[in-house]
Amino acid sequence: MAPRTWVFVCLFAAMTVAGAWAEEGDENLLKNAGLEAGGFDGWVYFGQGWRVSDYVSEVSRDMHEGKFGLLNEIAPTDGDEWRGAEQVVRIKPNKAYEAGVWIRAVQVGDSQSYLEVRFLDKQSNIIEQVQSVAVGDDQDFTWVDIDYMESPQDAHYAAIRAVVQMMGKPERDIAYHMFDDFVFAETKRLSKSAKKKAAAAGD
């Protein structure tokens, strides 16, 4: 059976939204979430153009906070349409989760990027995947999130992915998609399954 895919349009610029989870005490399940290890520790990637960058100038930077950020560079000579960086974490079935990342896009041309979460079974087969809104226009670092997901009954793992799609090669300039400060956490909100159990207990 093919995995179900859901697309969530949740794009927020306010830093207060991004910081809400930390205030609520939700634990970020990701290792090296801000790339502050200075490398891909905890992450794997596929496709061309990935690097962990500490570039800063008077007018530009490759990170949202800290010293490092995750960058994908699309050159006119590239051939890979799909690129991604991924971290897989252990999760619980029938629980509510949320995810987010800061994305910056420069000279994107005919390309886009987004956050994706894949729920996997014990054998790492995809059961379901959820995507944020896609970023297809130039922008400064902007918070992109998926504020509610319920893990399927058979889910054992979640793959949190920064995805870049090159739909057309840049004519001249190199396109850049930058990601930083990933979050993936179990939310305190009750899942649908938990709500049903609570309702049944109250009868």
Q: Convert the pLDDT of each residue in 80-120 to its tens digit.
A: 999 999 999 999 999 999 999 999 999 999 999 999 999 99
**53-74 pLDDT tens trace:** 999 999 999 999 999 999 999 9
**181-200 pLDDT tens trace:** 999 999 987 666 666 665 66
**Residues making up the chain, counted from first to last:** 203
Question: Given a cut of 50, is residue 9 above it in pLDDT?
Answer: no
CA distance 111 to 118: 22
Phi, psi (5° rounding) for residue 191? -75, 170
Q: What is the pLDDT of residue 13?
A: 38
Q: What is the pLDDT of residue 63?
A: 97
Question: What structural domains does the chain harbor?
Answer: 4-202 (2.60.120.260)
What is the CB-side half-sphere exposure of residue 40 using CA atoms within 13 A?
A: 12
Q: What is the pLDDT of residue 10?
A: 44
Give counts: helices (H), strands (E), the chain: 2, 12
